[in-house]
Chain A
Amino acid sequence: MLNIGLLATEAGGAAAEGFEAGWLTRHVWLIPLLPVVSFVVTLFFGKRFKGGGAWFGVSMMGLALLLSTALGVEWMGRGHVGIEEGQPPAVAATYRGTASGDQEHQVQQVIEEAERTGEPKASIPGHGEEGEEHALPAGRFSLPAAESGGEGPAGEPHAVEVRPYHEAEAGWFHIGPIEVGFGFHIDGFAVIMLFTVSFISFLVHLFSTEYLRDDRRRTHYFASLGLFTAGMLLMVSSSTSLQLLLGWEIMGLCSFLLIGHWWEESKNSDAALKAFFTTRTGDVGLLVGLSILFFGAGQTFNIAKINQQAITGEIPRSWLVAAAVALFIACIGKSAQFPLHTWLPDAMAGPTPASALIHAATMVVAGVYMVGRFYPVFFSAFRIANNALGFNIIALIGGITIIIAGLLAFVQQDIKKVLAYSTVSQLGYMVMGLGVGAWTGAIFHLFTHAFFKALLFMGAGSISHACWHSFDMRDFGGLRKHMPKTFVTFMIGTVALMGLPPLAGFWSKDEILLGAWTNGYRGTFFLVGCVGAALTCAYMTRVVYKTFWGEYKGPQTPDAIEHASHAAHGHHDAHDDAVENQAPALVGASAYQEGAKASADPGVKAAAHGTVQSERGPHDDEASHTADDHGDSAHAGAPLGGYPHESPWPITVPLIVLAVMSVVAGIINAPFFGLQFTHFSAIEPIVAAGVPEPSFSGVVAVISTLGALAGLGLAVAWWRGMRFGLDGLTRRNGLAGAGYRLLEQKYYLDALYERVIVRGIKGPMASAAYWFNQNVLDGVAHGVSATARRAATFTYDVVDQEVVDGTVNSVGAGATGLGRGFKHMASGKVQQYVAYLIGGAAAGALVIFAITFNRS
Chain B
Amino acid sequence: MAIIDGNVNLDNAVLSVATFAPLAGAAVLGLLPKREEFLVKAWALGTSVFTLLCGLYLVLRFDYGNAGAPQFERSHSWIDVINSNYHVFMDGLSLPLFLLSMVITTLCIIYSWDHWPEPRNPKAFLMLMLILETGMLGSFIAEDLILFFVFFELVLLPMYFMIGVWGGEQRQYASLKFFLFTLFGSALMILSFLALYFKSGGAGLEPTFDIPMLIERGMSDTLVRSTELLIFGGLFMGFAIKVPMFPFHTWLPDAHTQAPTVGSVILAAVLLKLGTYGFIRIAIPILPAAAKEYAPLIAVLATIGIIYGALGCLAQKDMKRLIAFSSVAHMGFVMLGIATLTDYGINAAVFGMVAHGLITGMLFFVAGSVKERFHTLEIRRLGGLLVQAPKLGWILGFCSMASLGLPGLAGFWGEFPAILSTFNPAEGLSVALFRTCMVIASIGTVLAAGYLLWLFQRTAFGTPKEEWATTEVHDVERPEWLAWAPLLAGIVLFGILPGIVFDITDPAVNERVTAAVVAQGK
Q: Which residues of A contact B (CB under 8 A)?
A: 1-4, 6, 128, 171-177, 242, 245-246, 248-250, 252-253, 256, 260, 263-266, 269-270, 272-273, 276-277, 280-281, 283-284, 287-288, 290-292, 294-295, 571, 574-575, 577-579, 784-785, 788-789, 791-793, 795-797, 800, 804-805, 808
Contacts A174-B503, A264-B462, A283-B446 hold; do A805 and B250 have CB atoms under 8 A apart?
Answer: yes
Q: Are B401 and A253 in contact (CB under 8 A)?
A: yes
Contact of A788 among B314, B388, B417 (CB under 8 A): B314
Residues of B within 8 A of A571 (CB): 463
Stretch from B109-117, B143-151, B154-162, B435-443 at the A interface? B435-443
Besides A176-B506, A265-B462, 8 more A-B contacts (Cβ < 8 Å) are A1-B65, A175-B417, A253-B401, A263-B461, A578-B388, A784-B450, A788-B311, A789-B315
Bound-state Cα–Cα, A361 to B426, Å: 42
Contact of B312 among A173, A253, A795 (CB under 8 A): A795
B498 within 8 A of A: yes
For B35-65 the 0/1 string (1 means CB < 8 A from A) is 0000000000000000000000000000011
Q: Are A4 and B450 in contact (CB under 8 A)?
A: no
B312 — nearest CB in chain A belongs to which residue?
A796
B208 within 8 A of A: no
Contact of B343 among A175, A575, A796 (CB under 8 A): A175
In the assembled complex, the CB of B490 is this many whole angstroms from the nearest CB of chain A, namely 14
Residues of A within 8 A of B231 (CB): none
- On chain B, the number of residues with a Cβ less than 8 Å from chain A's Cβ atoms is 62
Q: Are A788 and B503 in contact (CB under 8 A)?
A: no
In the assembled complex, the CB of B359 is this many whole angstroms from the nearest CB of chain A, namely 15
Q: Are A284 and B497 in contact (CB under 8 A)?
A: no
Across chains A and B, which 9 residue pairs bring their CB atoms closest together, nearest first?
Answer: A173-B499, A176-B343, A792-B311, A792-B315, A1-B64, A792-B314, A796-B315, A246-B407, A263-B461
Q: Can you identify 22 A-B contacts, CB atoms within 8 angstroms?
A: A2-B503, A3-B497, A3-B499, A175-B344, A176-B344, A176-B510, A245-B407, A249-B406, A264-B461, A265-B462, A272-B457, A284-B442, A574-B463, A578-B384, A579-B387, A784-B450, A792-B312, A792-B314, A793-B315, A795-B315, A796-B316, A808-B177
Q: Are B462 and A795 in contact (CB under 8 A)?
A: no
Residues of A within 8 A of B422 (CB): 291
Residues of B within 8 A of A3 (CB): 497, 499, 503
In the assembled complex, the CB of B431 is this many whole angstroms from the nearest CB of chain A, namely 10
Q: Are A269 and B461 in contact (CB under 8 A)?
A: yes
Q: Are B408 and A250 in contact (CB under 8 A)?
A: yes
Bound-state Cα–Cα, A253 to B417, Å: 20
Contacts A287-B416, A292-B423, A295-B423 hold; do A788 and B450 have CB atoms under 8 A apart?
Answer: yes
B447 within 8 A of A: yes
Contact of B469 among A6, A291, A574, A785 (CB under 8 A): A574
Q: Are A264 and B387 in contact (CB under 8 A)?
A: yes
Residues of A within 8 A of B181 (CB): 808
Residues of A within 8 A of B450 (CB): 277, 784-785, 788
B416 — nearest CB in chain A belongs to which residue?
A287
For B182-200 the 0/1 string (1 means CB < 8 A from A) is 0000000000000000000
Q: Is the interface of A mostly helix, strand, loop or mixed?
A: helix
Residues of B within 8 A of A579 (CB): 387
Q: Are B449 and A174 in contact (CB under 8 A)?
A: no
Q: Are A172 and B499 in contact (CB under 8 A)?
A: yes
Bound-state Cα–Cα, A577 to B446, Å: 37
Contact of A785 among B314, B462, B510 (CB under 8 A): B314
In the assembled complex, the CB of B252 is this many whole angstroms from the nearest CB of chain A, namely 11
Residues of A within 8 A of B344 (CB): 175-176
For B442-472 the 0/1 string (1 means CB < 8 A from A) is 1101110110011001001111100001000
B502 within 8 A of A: yes
Q: Are B387 and A797 in contact (CB under 8 A)?
A: no
Residues of B within 8 A of A173 (CB): 497-500, 502-503
Bound-state Cα–Cα, A316 to B104, Å: 47
A301 — nearest CB in chain B belongs to which residue?
B420
Residues of A within 8 A of B504 (CB): 1
B386 within 8 A of A: yes
Residues of A within 8 A of B412 (CB): 249
In the assembled complex, the CB of A374 is this many whole angstroms from the nearest CB of chain B, namely 17
Bound-state Cα–Cα, A699 to B6, Å: 90
Residues of A within 8 A of B408 (CB): 246, 249-250
B258 within 8 A of A: no
Residues of B within 8 A of A808 (CB): 177, 181, 250
Using a CB-CB cutoff of 8 Å, which residues 307-331 of chain B contact chain A?
Answer: 308, 310-316
Bound-state Cα–Cα, A273 to B454, Å: 8
Bound-state Cα–Cα, A248 to B408, Å: 11
Bound-state Cα–Cα, A281 to B463, Å: 28
Residues of B within 8 A of A242 (CB): 407, 416
Contact of B453 among A277, A281, A287 (CB under 8 A): A277
In the assembled complex, the CB of A254 is this many whole angstroms from the nearest CB of chain B, namely 11
Q: Are A785 and B454 in contact (CB under 8 A)?
A: yes
Q: Are B423 and A269 in contact (CB under 8 A)?
A: no
Bound-state Cα–Cα, A785 to B64, Å: 46
Q: Are A284 and B439 in contact (CB under 8 A)?
A: yes
B460 — nearest CB in chain A belongs to which residue?
A263
Bound-state Cα–Cα, A575 to B387, Å: 7
In the assembled complex, the CB of B501 is this many whole angstroms from the nearest CB of chain A, namely 8
For B465-507 the 0/1 string (1 means CB < 8 A from A) is 0000100000000000000000000000000011110111010
In the assembled complex, the CB of B489 is this many whole angstroms from the nearest CB of chain A, namely 13
Bound-state Cα–Cα, A1 to B347, Å: 16
Residues of A within 8 A of B64 (CB): 1
Bound-state Cα–Cα, A773 to B423, Å: 30
In the assembled complex, the CB of B439 is this many whole angstroms from the nearest CB of chain A, namely 6
Bound-state Cα–Cα, A150 to B462, Å: 60
Most buried by A among B310, B384, B469: B384
Q: Are A175 and B347 in contact (CB under 8 A)?
A: yes
In the assembled complex, the CB of A252 is this many whole angstroms from the nearest CB of chain B, namely 8
Residues of A within 8 A of B498 (CB): 172-173
B321 — nearest CB in chain A belongs to which residue?
A796
Q: Are A273 and B420 in contact (CB under 8 A)?
A: no
A174 — nearest CB in chain B belongs to which residue?
B506
In the assembled complex, the CB of A183 is this many whole angstroms from the nearest CB of chain B, namely 14
A779 — nearest CB in chain B belongs to which residue?
B446
B358 within 8 A of A: no
Residues of A within 8 A of B128 (CB): none
In the assembled complex, the CB of B499 is this many whole angstroms from the nearest CB of chain A, namely 3
Q: Are A277 and B446 in contact (CB under 8 A)?
A: yes
Q: Are B250 and A6 in contact (CB under 8 A)?
A: no
In the assembled complex, the CB of B47 is this many whole angstroms from the nearest CB of chain A, namely 30
Residues of A within 8 A of B387 (CB): 264, 575, 578-579
Bound-state Cα–Cα, A757 to B422, Å: 33
Residues of B within 8 A of A270 (CB): 457
Bound-state Cα–Cα, A385 to B423, Å: 30
Contact of B502 among A175, A292, A791 (CB under 8 A): A175
In the assembled complex, the CB of A583 is this many whole angstroms from the nearest CB of chain B, namely 16
Bound-state Cα–Cα, A269 to B454, Å: 10
Q: Are B419 and A291 in contact (CB under 8 A)?
A: yes
In the assembled complex, the CB of A325 is this many whole angstroms from the nearest CB of chain B, namely 12
Q: Are B497 and A269 in contact (CB under 8 A)?
A: no
In the assembled complex, the CB of B57 is this many whole angstroms from the nearest CB of chain A, namely 17
Residues of A within 8 A of B247 (CB): 804
B424 within 8 A of A: yes
Residues of B within 8 A of A250 (CB): 406-408
B342 within 8 A of A: yes
In the assembled complex, the CB of A85 is this many whole angstroms from the nearest CB of chain B, namely 39
Contacts A176-B347, A291-B438 hold; do A273 and B453 have CB atoms under 8 A apart?
Answer: yes
Residues of A within 8 A of B342 (CB): 176
Contact of A4 among B313, B464, B497 (CB under 8 A): B497
Bound-state Cα–Cα, A88 to B95, Å: 53
In the assembled complex, the CB of B184 is this many whole angstroms from the nearest CB of chain A, namely 10
B67 — nearest CB in chain A belongs to which residue?
A1
Residues of B within 8 A of A292 (CB): 423
Using a CB-CB cutoff of 8 Å, which residues 394-434 of chain B contact chain A?
Answer: 401, 406-408, 412, 416-417, 419-420, 422-424
Bound-state Cα–Cα, A291 to B416, Å: 9
